[in-house]
């Protein structure tokens, strides 16, 4: 959800999706030396913005803590985000509507109690129940009975506190019934709100808040607000994403620059993103050499042209003209210092279902054709691009504006909001007066997550207010298709229709650039821009 | 004297009430929905907003909100932020660090500033005078973050390696000396110039001439008669500076990653967490008031003509 937040302070990412579980997209690096299996790793962190409940954590600062503390049913593979079983032994369904889930035996929470099917069911019910006010509660929406515990009308009191779609079969088995077939559900359950909660949570949530008890590879030790969160290896953890060091210090920084200096000096072991100053002229390569970590991110930057603005409504030629007037190649190389690549579609590369060049010539810089289309579009007046101006958001969009200005001969201006909150208030309130930045990062690795929230009528992040019944129908059909490959084909057809309408203009995709310190032998950055803790190895102090 | 102090202390009560209300109202009036952007790229779930608003009394009218807050404050409860951590706990970890940093900065700026001021004031127009003049001008023209970054670069591991790039979670006095120097550098320049001007003025005054005529040694003339009287404007400046150094150290705290009050306020304003901002600013107001009381009392010590009754 939000990769957009503010790069300095909180690195966007969102979420939690995360996986420490296994995921990584790739960037790993190793070095020679002896390994210390009981070493300490310190990673860059920001102060969590919510309580440390898995279903209440939707931003990076808290997400990296809950991710290490809680293990979900499935994890994600590094290469293409394919899922594999973690806490689950098997997940079976014949119709994509009823899922039978079996747990691996012998799993324990950090307080020594067993991880049972009921812990998952209780946790999911807790997340969905409206009065519990869990930020990510709406992820339970596909489950049957969600409307009873979470009525659409916020003032209404929920009729029940349990979803009818969840049924405990035995200690290690439960059954999930969805309100409609959903082929993506087995992927979604790798996302944080689907973590189990121990009985201790329901007995005393306040105590749990102060000292969370999870079932993940690391357990909670202590927390100094705004300074440090300490985790420690949970020795009873048997699953394949267990960690190979003892202590994890999440150091809270108010400035990425300072954290970077600490990293170079060896006082901090891992950063999932580097500050703009280090990227200038690729300085980080000189500073860090083979300690740099790379990963494909599941993110998509775009410029939305809202349909509620009369000049943009149904004016496809204008959309295409603007898109062709943006010199993506040059902007990603210069202004963005190579940390982004030009985008050619509405789905992030590296994900299953991505096809190269979907946007085709309309996402290729061509000032002559752009100018011609622009004249045919009949647009007069001034163009604007709105965004928050902190966190390095301003510069690339100003460059895009300049590119548009030069190619089309039209006035273009960047309009900045002071921060992300102020900007989202404008967007969510449908009060945009021109184009706007519309960046997305996936909650879970599925092509579905790049389309449904953004382009379906009434989607939760449909910034351009786009609505096309044909797209909606295709997406609905795809959601209800049990066969994953068939479903992907349908999603791709929906993307083709979106490409014709161009509700938003794809601009660039971010590359994950992080780094490790020389105290580590190995580290890995995931495609969700997280630390792949299972891949970390600490160098023994000689 | 005792009655004066008591009267001043009693004045704290209305000032305390006034400032807390003012700050609370100001934060309340920030024209931004506290929930916008809190849930990432999509709007927050309505049920989440409804529950949190009820929990944090966001739906009450301003006055009711304020009195609820004040009531809790009197029982020692500073409230909780959105992430469920109590404001009291956050302040109690950050406050000692900021206090240490502020005191260190004031000591450094006073020590170096006054010495430089006295030396230049006594030898007006000399080489030293010009040197201090130029170097203070230089310091004043540098923004604090530049001083911070430059010192960290040259004294840190990539330079002379005599300091770390950031301080530890619970920094010692030693670790805070350099950040304190950076924080106090700007005021140090002011102190030096203020002292110099004051010394230059008072050198020609009657009581100094008398002291010299009495045949007193130079050190006594300067140290007791001249300096004591010249310090009054400097002390006034230092007293108010202590307060602003504590609340305004946001930049320095960021550069050295110090978990202090400045960063808390900054975050509180950004996240629109009124309880956090009000709690800290109230404390800062108290520091200002106490520091200015101390300054007023010091006047009497420095200048025998001043008496409080």
Q: Which class for A505: exposed (0-12), middle (13-18), buried (19 or more C-beta within 10 A)?
A: buried
With contact defined as beta carbons under 8 Å apart, do B234 and B298 qualify? no
Residue B83 has its nearest CB partner, among A51, A132, A227, at: A51
Confidence at residue A542, expressed as pLDDT on a 0 to 100 scale: 67
Q: pLDDT digit string (tens) for A209-224? A: 889 999 999 999 999 8
Q: Could you give the CA distance from residue A417 to residue A436 in angstroms, rounded to a whole number? A: 11
Q: Could you give the CA distance from residue A511 to residue B104 in angstroms, rounded to a whole number? A: 43
Rg, Å, chain A Cα set: 23
pLDDT at A6 over 80: no
Residues from chain A contacting residue B89 (CB–CB below 8 Å): 225
Q: pLDDT digit string (tens) for A303-362? A: 999 999 988 888 899 999 999 999 999 999 888 888 899 999 999 887 888 999 889 899
Average pLDDT over residues A175-192: 90
With contact defined as beta carbons under 8 Å apart, do A311 and A83 qualify? no
Residue B263 has its nearest CB partner, among A49, A254, A259, at: A254
Show Cβ contacts of residue A169 under 8 Å, excluding neighbours closer than 6 positions: A100, A117, A175
Q: Report which of B58, B59, B33, B45 is spatially closest to residue A151, judged by C-alpha positions.
A: B45
Q: β-pairing, A435-437 with A382-388?
A: parallel
Helix (H, G, I), strand (E, B) or coil at B114: helix
Helix (H) or strand (E) segment spanning residue A103: strand A98-103
pLDDT at A7 over 60: no
Return the residue of A nearest to B148 by Cα.
A258
pLDDT class of A30 with cuts at 50, 70, 90: low
A87: DSSP letter: S
Where is pLDDT greater, at A207 or B42? Answer: A207
Average pLDDT over residues A201-214: 91
Q: Which class for A391: exposed (0-12), middle (13-18), buried (19 or more C-beta within 10 A)?
A: buried
Q: Report which of B18, B89, B70, B65 is spatially closest to residue B285, judged by C-alpha positions.
A: B18
User: How many Å from the N-terminal Cα to the C-terminal Cα in chain A?
Assistant: 43
ipTM above 0.85, yes or no: no
pLDDT at B20 over 80: yes
Confidence at residue A104, expressed as pLDDT on a 0 to 100 scale: 94
Residue A135 has its nearest CB partner, among B37, B39, B157, at: B39
Q: Which class for A170: exposed (0-12), middle (13-18), buried (19 or more C-beta within 10 A)?
A: exposed
Return the residue of B nearest to A127 by Cα.
B48
Average pLDDT over residues A231-237: 93
With contact defined as beta carbons under 8 Å apart, do A121 and A199 qualify? no
A138 to B45: CB separation less than 8 angstroms, yes or no: yes
pLDDT at A539 over 60: yes
Average pLDDT over residues A361-386: 91
- Please tell me the distance in Å from B40's CA to the nearest CA on chain A: 4
Lowest mean pLDDT, pick from A27-31, A201-205, B11-15, B111-115 = A27-31
Average pLDDT over residues B45-71: 78
Q: Could you give the CA distance from residue B176 to residue A328 in angstroms, rounded to a whole number? A: 46
A261 to B93: CB separation less than 8 angstroms, yes or no: no
Residue A421 has its nearest CB partner, among B37, B83, B264, at: B37
Confidence at residue B42, expressed as pLDDT on a 0 to 100 scale: 67
Highest mean pLDDT among A80-89, A170-179, B254-263, B283-292: A170-179
With contact defined as beta carbons under 8 Å apart, do B256 and B179 qualify? yes
DSSP A272-340: SS--HHHHGGGHHHHHHGGGEEEEE--EEEEEE--TTSTTTTT-HHHHHHHHHH--HHHHHHTTTTTSE
Confidence at residue A4, expressed as pLDDT on a 0 to 100 scale: 38
A226 to B93: CB separation less than 8 angstroms, yes or no: yes
- Please tell me the distance in Å from B295's CA to the nearest CA on chain A: 33
Residue B156 has its nearest CB partner, among A135, A265, A439, at: A265
Confidence at residue A19, expressed as pLDDT on a 0 to 100 scale: 32
Q: pLDDT digit string (tens) for B152-183? A: 888 877 777 777 777 777 788 888 888 888 88
- How distant is the alpha carbon of residue B75 from its chain centre? 27
B41 to A226: CB separation less than 8 angstroms, yes or no: no
Q: Report which of A165, A163, A167, A169 is spatially closest to residue A150, judged by C-alpha positions.
A: A163
pLDDT at B31 over 80: no
B50 to A138: CB separation less than 8 angstroms, yes or no: no
Q: Could you give the CA distance from residue A447 to residue B38 in angstroms, rounded to a whole number? A: 25
With contact defined as beta carbons under 8 Å apart, do A75 and A27 qualify? no
Residues from chain B contacting residue A228 (CB–CB below 8 Å): 169
Return the residue of A nearest to B171 by Cα.
A227
Residues from chain A contacting residue B43 (CB–CB below 8 Å): 424, 428, 460
pLDDT class of B87 with cuts at 50, 70, 90: confident
User: Could you give the residue ranges of the DSSP H alpha helices within B75-172?
Assistant: 87-122, 127-141, 144-155
Q: What's phi and psi for B81, nearest 5 deg?
A: -90, 180
- How distant is the alpha carbon of residue B80 from its chain centre? 25
The percentage of chain A sitting over the pLDDT mark of 90, rounded to a whole number, equals 49
Q: pLDDT digit string (tens) for A150-167? A: 887 766 788 888 999 999
Q: Could you give the CA distance from residue A263 to residue A288 in angstroms, rounded to a whole number? A: 9
Average pLDDT over residues B27-54: 72
Sheet holding A88-92, edge to edge: A88-92, A98-103, A173-177, A166-170
Show Cβ contacts of residue B7 under 8 Å, excluding neighbours closer than 6 positions: none
Residues from chain A contacting residue B50 (CB–CB below 8 Å): 133, 154-155
Return the residue of A nearest to B152 by Cα.
A261
Return the residue of A nearest to B264 by Cα.
A226
In Å, how far are A44, B100, B152 from B179, measured between CA atoms? 21, 11, 9
Residues found in chain B: 309
Q: pLDDT digit string (tens) for A464-522? A: 899 999 999 999 899 888 888 889 999 999 999 999 999 999 999 988 899 999 999 99
Beta pairing partners, A524: A28
Q: pLDDT digit string (tens) for A394-403? A: 889 999 999 9
B37 to A422: CB separation less than 8 angstroms, yes or no: yes
- Please tell me the distance in Å from A29's CA to the nearest CA on chain B: 24
A423 to B37: CB separation less than 8 angstroms, yes or no: yes
Q: Report which of B242, B251, B255 is spatially closest to residue B285, judged by C-alpha positions.
A: B242
- How distant is the alpha carbon of residue A330 from its chain centre? 27
- Please tell me the distance in Å from A166's CA to the nearest CA on chain B: 22
A258 to B255: CB separation less than 8 angstroms, yes or no: yes
Residue B33 has its nearest CB partner, among A137, A252, A425, at: A425
Q: Could you give the CA distance from residue A81 to residue A317 in angstroms, rounded to a whole number? A: 36
Where is pLDDT greater, at B258 or A24? Answer: B258
Confidence at residue A86, expressed as pLDDT on a 0 to 100 scale: 92
DSSP A136-148: TGGGGTTBTTHHH
Return the residue of A nearest to B52 by Cα.
A133
pLDDT at A34 over 50: yes
Lowest mean pLDDT, pick from A121-135, A165-179, B286-300 = B286-300
B222: DSSP letter: I
Q: Could you give the CA distance from residue B175 to residue B170 in angstroms, rounded to a whole number? A: 10
Report chain B's mean pLDDT, rounded to a whole number: 82
- Please tell me the distance in Å from A424's CA to the nearest CA on chain B: 5
Return the residue of A nearest to B250 by Cα.
A254
Q: Report which of A5, A60, A57, A39 is spatially closest to residue A422, judged by C-alpha positions.
A: A5
Total-model pTM: 0.78
CB burial of B185-214 (b: ≥16 within 10 Å; e: otherwise) equals: bbbbbbbbbbbbbbbbebbeeeebeebeee
Q: Compute the Cα dihedral for B153, B154, B156, B157 and give only its sign.
A: positive
CB contacts < 8 A (A, B): 153
Average pLDDT over residues B185-205: 89
Number of Cβ within 10 Å of residue A25's Cβ equals: 27
A453 to B42: CB separation less than 8 angstroms, yes or no: yes
Confidence at residue A12, expressed as pLDDT on a 0 to 100 scale: 31
- Please tell me the distance in Å from B245's CA to the nearest CA on chain A: 18
Report chain A's mean pLDDT, rounded to a whole number: 86
Residue A255 has its nearest CB partner, among B93, B94, B255, at: B255
Return the residue of A nearest to B45 by Cα.
A135
Lowest mean pLDDT, pick from A118-122, A203-207, B60-64 = B60-64
Q: What's phi and psi for A511, nearest 5 deg?
A: -100, 135
With contact defined as beta carbons under 8 Å apart, do A423 and B37 qualify? yes
Confidence at residue A231, expressed as pLDDT on a 0 to 100 scale: 95
- Please tell me the distance in Å from B29's CA to the nearest CA on chain A: 14
B253 to A253: CB separation less than 8 angstroms, yes or no: no
pLDDT class of A8 with cuts at 50, 70, 90: very low
């Amino acid at each position: 959800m939000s990769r957009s937040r503010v790069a300095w302070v909180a690195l966007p990412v969102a979420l939690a999706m995360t996986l420490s579980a296994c995921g990584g997209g790739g960037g790993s690096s190793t070095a020679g030396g002896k390994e210390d299996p009981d070493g300490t790793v310190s990673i860059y962190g920001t102060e969590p913005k919510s309580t440390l409940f898995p279903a209440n954590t939707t931003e990076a600062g808290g997400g990296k803590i809950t991710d290490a503390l809680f293990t979900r049913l499935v994890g994600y593979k590094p290469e293409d985000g394919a899922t594999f079983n973690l806490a689950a032994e098997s997940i079976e369904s014949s119709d994509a509507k009823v899922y039978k889930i079996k747990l691996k035996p012998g799993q324990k929470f950090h307080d020594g109690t067993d991880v049972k099917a009921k812990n998952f069911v209780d946790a999911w019910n807790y997340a969905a129940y409206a009065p519990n006010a869990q930020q990510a509660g709406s992820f339970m929406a596909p489950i049957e009975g969600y409307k009873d515990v979470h009525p659409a009308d916020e003032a209404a009191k929920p009729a029940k506190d349990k979803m009818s779609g969840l049924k405990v079969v035995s200690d290690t088995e439960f059954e999930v019934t969805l309100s409609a077939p959903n082929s993506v559900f087995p992927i979604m359950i790798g996302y944080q709100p689907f973590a189990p909660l121990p009985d201790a949570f329901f007995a005393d949530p306040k105590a749990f808040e102060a000292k969370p008890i999870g079932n993940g590879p690391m357990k909670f030790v202590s927390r100094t607000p705004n300074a440090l969160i300490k985790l420690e290896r949970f020795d009873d953890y048997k699953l394949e994403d267990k960690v190979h060091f003892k202590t994890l210090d999440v150091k809270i920084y108010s400035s990425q620059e300072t954290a970077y200096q600490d990293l170079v000096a060896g006082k901090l072991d891992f950063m999932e993103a580097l500050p703009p100053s280090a990227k200038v002229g690729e300085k980080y390569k000189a500073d860090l050499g083979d300690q740099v970590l790379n990963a494909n991110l599941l993110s998509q930057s775009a410029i939305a042209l809202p349909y509620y603005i009369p000049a943009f409504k149904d004016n496809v030629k204008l959309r295409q003209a603007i898109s062709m007037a943006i010199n993506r190649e040059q902007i990603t190389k210069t202004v963005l210092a190579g940390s982004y690549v030009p985008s050619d579609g509405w789905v992030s590369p590296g994900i299953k279902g991505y096809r190269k060049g979907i946007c085709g010539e309309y996402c290729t810089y061509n000032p002559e054709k752009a100018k011609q289309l622009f004249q045919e579009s009949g647009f007069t007046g001034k163009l604007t691009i709105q965004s928050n101006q902190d966190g390095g958001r301003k510069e690339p969009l100003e460059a895009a504006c300049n590119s548009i200005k030069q190619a089309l001969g039209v006035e273009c201006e960047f309009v900045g909001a002071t921060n992300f909150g102020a900007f989202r208030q404008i967007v969510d309130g449908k009060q945009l007066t021109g184009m706007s930045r519309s960046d997305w990062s996936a909650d879970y690795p599925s092509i579905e997550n790049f389309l449904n929230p953004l382009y379906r009528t009434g989607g939760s992040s449909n910034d351009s207010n786009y609505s096309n019944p044909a797209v909606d129908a295709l997406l609905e059909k795809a959601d209800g298709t049990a066969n994953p490959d068939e479903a992907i084909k349908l999603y791709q057809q929906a993307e083709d229709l979106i490409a014709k309408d161009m509700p938003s203009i794809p601009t660039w995709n971010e590359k994950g650039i992080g780094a490790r310190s020389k105290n580590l032998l190995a580290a890995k950055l995931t495609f969700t821009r997280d630390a792949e803790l299972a891949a970390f190895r600490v160098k023994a102090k000689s | 004297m005792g009655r004066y102090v008591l009267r001043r202390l009693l004045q704290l009560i209305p000032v305390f009430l006034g400032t807390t209300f003012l700050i609370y109202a100001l934060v309340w009036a920030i024209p931004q929905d506290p929930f916008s952007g809190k849930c990432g790229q999509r709007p927050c779930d309505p049920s989440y907003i409804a529950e949190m608003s009820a929990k944090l009394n966001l739906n009450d009218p301003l006055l009711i909100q304020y009195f609820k807050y004040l009531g809790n404050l009197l029982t020692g409860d500073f409230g909780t932020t959105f992430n469920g951590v109590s404001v009291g706990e956050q302040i109690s970890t950050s406050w000692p660090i900021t206090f240490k940093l502020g005191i260190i900065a004031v000591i450094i700026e006073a020590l170096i500033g006054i010495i430089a001021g006295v030396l230049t004031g006594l030898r007006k127009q000399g080489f030293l005078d010009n040197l201090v003049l130029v170097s203070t001008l230089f310091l004043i023209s540098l923004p604090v973050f530049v001083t911070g970054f430059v010192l960290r670069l040259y004294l840190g591991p990539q330079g002379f390696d005599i300091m770390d790039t950031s301080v530890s979670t619970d920094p010692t006095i030693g670790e805070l000396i350099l950040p304190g120097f950076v924080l106090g550098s700007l005021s140090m320049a002011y102190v030096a110039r203020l002292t110099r001007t004051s010394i230059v003025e008072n050198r020609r005054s009657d009581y100094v001439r008398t002291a010299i005529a009495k045949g007193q040694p130079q050190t006594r003339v300067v140290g007791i008669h001249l300096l004591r009287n010249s310090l009054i404007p400097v002390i006034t400046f230092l007293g108010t500076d202590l307060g602003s150094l504590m609340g305004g150290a946001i930049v320095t705290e960021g550069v050295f990653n110090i978990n202090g009050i400045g960063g808390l306020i900054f975050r509180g304003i950004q996240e629109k967490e009124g309880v956090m901002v009000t709690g800290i600013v109230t404390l800062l107001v108290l520091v200002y008031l106490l520091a200015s009381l101390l300054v007023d009392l010091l006047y009497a010590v420095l200048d025998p003509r001043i008496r409080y009754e």
